[in-house]
């Protein structure tokens, strides 16, 4: 394994105390690790683990230490930068810093956050991060085109919210079953969902590096907000595609099942990704959850799945601009009234993607990049036509 692995900052032992809670406790252990991999010279990944109730950014190193979730909850995030060595690092670090700061700013010191409070903070934090990165790139010619993915999670009581832009991922392990609870905003995933590419073909697909959205590539992004209701014993993992692109889900599942601590799971996952080639930077955040504040798994529970969360009374009106058009029309990556209008729009499973030729598979790893302008122009034109047809049909 590379010697460049960075651990999350440890909490001092004096901070490993229960935060005031008014219910049975939720206990968590968490670890984040990042590694440059075997082929890259620079690490453009970043992550954050933050205990919002104690105001501590970092995370407890899991040597048997357990921490009680406080009323403000916690956030976890993984960001995978792009745009060159310096620019990618800058973009992912900015995203991590802005997401954390925007979530914690103005937290009421004594009141617990509601589910909608933390979900709205998370979405707005990711949107703000995208805008700031875009403005920074516009102000500095050397950083033009920089961007980053973002998979950010926030937990309050038993509800885990996930804000997604790009193709980093979040998984939940329950009863030895691993489920991806985010959806990749990538060309290859859209082709798989459209039935034009199989999972096996996707592994060697020449354009599997193309993502449909990234923070910083436009002044606005459509954040995909989803959720999962945690149960006692659940294990959560966030990762960059340097991990998910190198080892299969079944191997990830076995490692998470067998590990006794998040620290052990994180270390083994990075070792396996490097052993498989380590073609990209590798970042992983693993959290184990337990305690009386989480209900045990019940046969009546809905199965784990990708599930969208609709925030009520969102003040901002989402705009269909830039690369966000693709995500908005394809899967209503928006909130509130705009999303309600778009949900009736047919998904583009034919037409646009049928017009995109699928080249012969290639085994050569490619750096991830935003959607090419030629494809984006085709998508935009098709979206406009679809929206016009829907509007006309309703008159």
Give the pLDDT score at 321: 36
Q: What is the mean pLDDT of residues 273-281?
A: 96
**pLDDT digit string (tens) for 286-326?**
999 999 999 999 999 999 999 999 988 655 433 333 333 33
Q: Is the pLDDT of residue 256 over 80?
A: yes
Domain boundaries, the chain: 6-312
pLDDT band for 266, please (50, 70, 90 cuts): very high
Q: pTM score, two decimals?
A: 0.75
Give the pLDDT score at 203: 75
Give the pLDDT score at 200: 76
Pairing between β-strand 210-211 and β-strand 369-370 as defined by DSSP bridges: parallel
**Domain 6-312 falls in which CATH fold?**
Phosphatase 2c; domain 1 (3.60.40)
Q: What is the mean pLDDT of residues 7-36?
A: 63
pLDDT band for 375, please (50, 70, 90 cuts): low
Q: What is the mean pLDDT of residues 243-270?
A: 96
Task: Provide φ and ψ at 389, rounded to 5°.
Answer: -65, -40
Q: Distance (Å, rounded) from C-alpha 329 to C-alpha 383?
A: 7
3-state SS assignment for residue 194: coil
Give the pLDDT score at 205: 80
Q: Distance (Å, rounded) from C-alpha 318 to C-alpha 339?
A: 8
Q: Are 176 and 253 in contact (CB under 8 A)?
A: yes
Give the pLDDT score at 4: 42
Q: Is the pLDDT of residue 80 over 60?
A: yes
Q: Which residue has the higher pLDDT, 200 or 49?
A: 49
Spatial CA neighbour of 362 closest among 249, 207, 212, 217: 207
C-alpha separations of 131 from 9, 134, 148, 221, 262 in Å: 27, 5, 12, 8, 33
């Amino acid at each position: 394994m590379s010697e460049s692995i960075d651990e999350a900052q440890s909490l001092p032992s004096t901070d490993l105390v229960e935060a005031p809670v008014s219910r049975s406790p939720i206990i968590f252990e968490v670890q984040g690790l990042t590694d440059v991999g075997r082929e890259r010279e620079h690490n453009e990944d970043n992550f954050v683990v933050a205990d919002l109730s104690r105001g501590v950014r970092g995370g407890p190193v899991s040597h048997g230490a357990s921490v009680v979730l406080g009323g403000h909850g916690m956030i976890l995030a993984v960001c995978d930068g792009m745009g060159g060595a310096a620019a990618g690092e800058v973009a992912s670090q900015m995203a991590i810093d802005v997401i954390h700061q925007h979530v914690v700013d103005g937290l009421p010191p004594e009141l617990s956050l509601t589910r909608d409070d933390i979900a709205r903070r998370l979405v707005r934090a990711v949107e703000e991060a995208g805008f700031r990165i875009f403005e920074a790139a516009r102000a500095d010619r050397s950083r033009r085109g920089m961007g980053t993915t973002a998979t950010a999670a926030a937990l309050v009581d038993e509800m885990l919210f996930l804000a997604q832009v790009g193709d980093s991922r979040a998984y939940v392990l329950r009863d030895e079953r691993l489920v991806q609870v985010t959806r990749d905003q990538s060309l290859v995933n859209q082709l798989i969902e459209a039935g034009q590419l199989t999972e096996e073909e996707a592994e060697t697909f020449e354009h599997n590096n193309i993502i449909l959205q990234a923070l910083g590539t436009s002044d606005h992004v459509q954040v995909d907000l989803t959720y999962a209701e945690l149960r006692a014993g659940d294990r959560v993992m966030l990762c960059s595609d340097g991990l998910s692109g190198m080892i299969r889900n079944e191997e990830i599942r076995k490692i998470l099942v067998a590990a006794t601590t998040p620290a052990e799971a994180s270390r083994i996952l990075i070792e396996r990704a490097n052993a498989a080639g380590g073609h990209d930077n590798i970042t992983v955040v693993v959290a184990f959850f337990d305690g009386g504040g989480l209900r045990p798994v019940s046969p009546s529970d809905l199965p784990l799945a990708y599930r969208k969360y609709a925030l009520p009374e969102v003040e901002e009106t989402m705009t269909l601009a830039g690369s966000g058009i693709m995500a908005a029309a394809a899967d209503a990556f928006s909130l509130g009234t705009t999303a309600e209008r778009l949900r009736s729009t047919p998904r583009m499973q034919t037409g646009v993607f049928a017009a995109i030729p699928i080249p012969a598979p290639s085994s050569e790893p490619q750096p991830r990049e935003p959607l090419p302008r030629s494809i984006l122009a085709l998508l935009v034109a098709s979206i406009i036509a679809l929206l016009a047809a829907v509007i006309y049909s309703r008159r």
